[in-house]
Every structure is written in structure tokens, then in C-alpha cells.
Amino acid sequence: MASIVVLGTGFAGNTAALNLKKELGDKHDVIVVSPRKNFSYVPSLVWVGVGSMQPEKTQFDLEPIYKKHGIIFKEGAAEEIHPDSRDQYVVVKYSDGKTEQIKYDYLINATGPKLNYVATPGLGPDAGYSDSICTLPHAVKTRDNYLKAVEKMKQGKRQKFVVGTGHGMATCQGAAFEFIHNLEFDLNRRGVRRNADITWISNEPALGDFGVGGVVIKKNGNLVSGKLFAESTFLEKGIKWVERAHVRKVEEGSLDYVNIEGEEGKLDFDFSMLIPPFAGIPIAYIDKDGNDIKSQMCVPSGFMKVDADYSSAAKPFEEWKNSDWPKKYNNPVYKNIFAAGIAFAPPHPISKPFKAPDGTLIVPSPPRTGMASGIIGHTVALSIIDIVKKGADEPTQQASMTEFGAICITSMGKSMTRGSAALLTMDPVVPNYEKYKFGRNLNYTFGDIGLAGHWVKYMLHYLFMWKMKGKFLWQFIPD
């Protein structure tokens, strides 16, 4: 009997666990470890943040789902991984302070990110002065603060809104882009838009980069850049923007930033929603002699090393290659340990990095959320299934971000009659300039914006909630 331990219950972890149990059955144990027993559908937290979706519609309890499927669930935090012992195991700490050693034959690290607010002084909703939509509790707090600003606007008081990224190496620009458009849409719906000044701040080298090096699509026979698309939506809605910027600090009612030219600036606000940088979940890696081997297992940010070429990060941007990126997602030293979703360390950014004159690095970190997380989690599960059932010597399945595509649906206002969303497909996620002139296959890279996009976004919310619950025919819903 094999024992597979999955750390995390997000898209990558939950997808992996469901597929593992479906194929391995009762002959093998699938054990999920997470300090949170609820699955949260993060893509819809943008709607929670402006009060257009109830929080309870974005999450559900995983315990009855796992019990139904025969998956063992441990509600605790993985604190240590011992990959070098005779019996490899994870040390799990529970809320009552007790610990347990859980043995594994195969381990999937799908823990997701640590929200690294401390990287920018004053950033974040807990100990800082900005809001966030990265977790459900934060999104609820964001909604409450946003609605307070709305009430002031109803009284005729002008309010300043700042939305974007709160650090020069933050990711998830797409989520912030969705939020600023939903905020602007909701202010119009409430009849107070005239009393709002809205500003976007981002570490992107250009608007519409989104951390994937930008995108070029073919529309009506013409080539359109993501930069043109993003700028046009901001101009149309009267949203100002600051790009190529690193937020140095956030104070009550203001933030300071520097851009790649070294120009310093300050933005005042009454309300701000800023996406933080991500780091790896802090887990200790201990060898058989009790030594800390985290530097062997993880990059400095805490994300786990996999089958990527990490030496490529020191090379110039022009020398980065598609072969730098991982395909199988297992650790090069302990090959029975995998990382999926945000937990794996990318070899380098996708977008071209820049530095301010003072040496501050300003470049979006590679996005690895949503569809990419699901695809990688599924791929890792299939490899383990082949190893366990067929006796394969190494991972059999591959899913490089330089080869698979993704669909992005960016909400720009939630309403079944007046809403809108930008529907974008790109193939592949990481541009391949060796193969394609514009980095991607234009036959499968296209986009459109309109009400139909919102209907698709809304439908996917319920479709993926169904899939993540492992309900009837869940396995036929694409990752």
C-alpha cells in the first residue's frame, strides 16, 4: 500500500487529491493536510470585495467531500518535512498544539503562497493600511471598507481609490485589474462615480503585461496588444495609472513609490487595495542527521525547487529559454516529492525585469494560479498514479507552462444584463519566441470583451465549485 500526502487544499492540492483517490482507490491512502478545512474559490473574491457576491457562495467545507471520496483529511499545518529518513514523514501541528508524524511514500507540496505583506512597510489589512482580496476574510474586510467609502460619497464627499500591486515583485496583476474595473462599475451602479478619483499602480513594465510578458491577439484580422487593450479600458473609464513602480511604503492615507527611471512619487488615498508579493509557506526541511536542508530544497523566497534550470536566473533576459521551465515538478534530490501550483519555484520571471537606479528590482513574479495550478496538480497526480500502479521509475507526465495554454476571464463588472468581462486565451502561457513571432500561437490566442464574457465567468464559478466538490462527473470538467 502506498501513502500519498498532499499539502494544501487549493486548486492544485484539491485537484491532485481527487484524481489520486479516483484512480488509486482503497488500496492506497491519500492524505490531505491543511490548516484550513474550507475550499475558497479565489477568482470570485473580487466580487466579494465590492459587495456583489455573498462570501458564503465562494467556499465550502472539504471534510464531508473528502470523507465521501475516502480521502483522509488532517486539519493542521505542515511544519517539518523529513525526506531523508528511513521512514519519510511530515510533522503536522494541530490547533491544540499537538503534533503528529505522517509517513509518506509520495508527497505533493501544494501549500500555495504566504502573503508576504511585511516586504513593504505598512502593506496589508492586518498590520498595515491597505486592503486585499487574496483570502476570504480579507475580501470581506475590503468590502466593508469599500462600502464605508461609498457612504461618504453618498454624502457628497470625494474619495480617492488606489488599486494595484504593493511591491515591485508582486504577482496577480490580473486580480487587481479585475478589482479596479469592478470597483468602477459598482460606483457607477450606485450613482456615486462622479465623486471618485481612481488610480492604478503596478509593477508591470507596461499596462496589460500581467506578468506574462504581455500578449498580442488577432482580432478581426488585426493584431492588438494587451497594452492597447488595458490603456483603452482605463482611458474610457477615466482611470489614471502609474506603471513600472515599486511601492516603498504604505502609510495611513498615502503610499510612496519609485519607478524604473528612479522617479519618486506619492499617491494619497481614502481606500486602497494592493496585492502583496508572495513567498513560500514556511516549512522546515530536515535530513536524517537533524540538519536544516531548506537551502537545498527551496529558493530563497521559500518556494520549492523542481526540475527547472535555476542557474538561468543569473543570465540576461535575452538568454532565457523555454527549456528553463519545469515539466515534471518533482524535486531533483528527493524525486518522490513534488510541488504544484504556486508552491513550485519558477526559474525566473516571464516578463523582462528592470531595476530602479538604486538597484530595486521591478518585475512581476510569474503567475501560477487558477487554471495553471489545476493543470499542474492533475499532471503530478497522474505521474504518481503511473508510478504506483504501473511501476514507472520516474514521473511519466509533463505539463510545461511553455507548452500548455490557459484561458483568462477578467471580470469588469458583475451584472447579468449590464456586466462585462474580457475573455482571453493564450497559448502557451510562457511565450515561445523561438517558435512564434509574437511568442504565442495566434490561432489559439485571442480575446474579446462584453456581456457574454461575464456570463462565462459567472458560469465557471459554479462549474468549478461543482468540480472541486467532486460531484457527479466532476472528472470531465477541464482543469
Confidence grade of residue 143 (pLDDT, cut at 50, 70, 90): very high
What pLDDT, in 10s, does the model give residues 295-337?
999 999 999 999 999 999 999 999 999 999 999 999 999 999 9
pLDDT at 122 (0 to 100): 98
pLDDT at 299 (0 to 100): 98
pLDDT at 25 over 80: yes
- Max mean pLDDT among 226-230, 236-240, 368-372 falls in 236-240
pLDDT at 218 (0 to 100): 80
353-359 mean pLDDT: 96
| Residues facing residue 259 across a β-bridge | 245
Q: Report how far apart, in Å, the C-alpha atoms of 49 and of each of 25, 60, 356 are.
A: 40, 18, 32
pLDDT at 85 over 90: no
The percent of residues in the chain predicted with pLDDT above 70, rounded, is 100
pLDDT at 472 (0 to 100): 97
Nearest Cα to Cα of residue 429 among 359, 392, 374, 360: 374
Q: Report how far apart, in Å, the C-alpha atoms of 153 and of each of 147, 148, 149, 240 are.
A: 10, 9, 6, 19
What pLDDT, in 10s, does the model give residues 200-221?
999 999 999 999 999 998 877 7
Q: Rounded distance, CA 91 to CA 99, Å? A: 7
| Range list of H helices, 293-439 | 294-297, 371-390
Cell numbers placing 339: 510541488
Nearest Cα to Cα of residue 104 among 193, 31, 180, 14: 31
Q: Report how far apart, in Å, the C-alpha atoms of 277 and of each of 49, 77, 166, 474 are.
A: 19, 21, 7, 33
pLDDT at 88 over 80: yes
Q: 420, 449 in Cβ contact below 8 A?
A: yes
Confidence grade of residue 52 (pLDDT, cut at 50, 70, 90): very high
Q: How far is CA 274 from the centre of its chain?
A: 14
pLDDT at 233 over 90: yes
Q: Report how far apart, in Å, the C-alpha atoms of 465 and of each of 25, 276, 370 are.
A: 23, 26, 13
Confidence grade of residue 463 (pLDDT, cut at 50, 70, 90): very high
Cell numbers placing 166: 504593493
pLDDT at 222 (0 to 100): 83
Strands in 152-253 per DSSP E: 159-165, 196-201, 216-219, 222-225, 240-242, 245-251
145-172 mean pLDDT: 98
pLDDT at 256 (0 to 100): 98
pLDDT at 446 over 90: no
pLDDT at 159 (0 to 100): 98
pLDDT at 413 (0 to 100): 97
Length of the chain as a residue count: 479
pLDDT at 219 (0 to 100): 77
pLDDT at 153 over 90: yes
Looking only at the bridges linking them, the beta strands covering 72-75 and 99-103 are: unpaired
Question: What domains can you pick out in the chain, each with its CATH number?
Answer: 3-114+279-390 (3.50.50.100)
What pLDDT, in 10s, does the model give residues 376-404?
999 999 999 999 999 999 999 999 999 99
pLDDT at 221 (0 to 100): 77
**List of residues 6+ apart from 302 with CB closer than 8 A:** 114, 279, 280, 281, 282
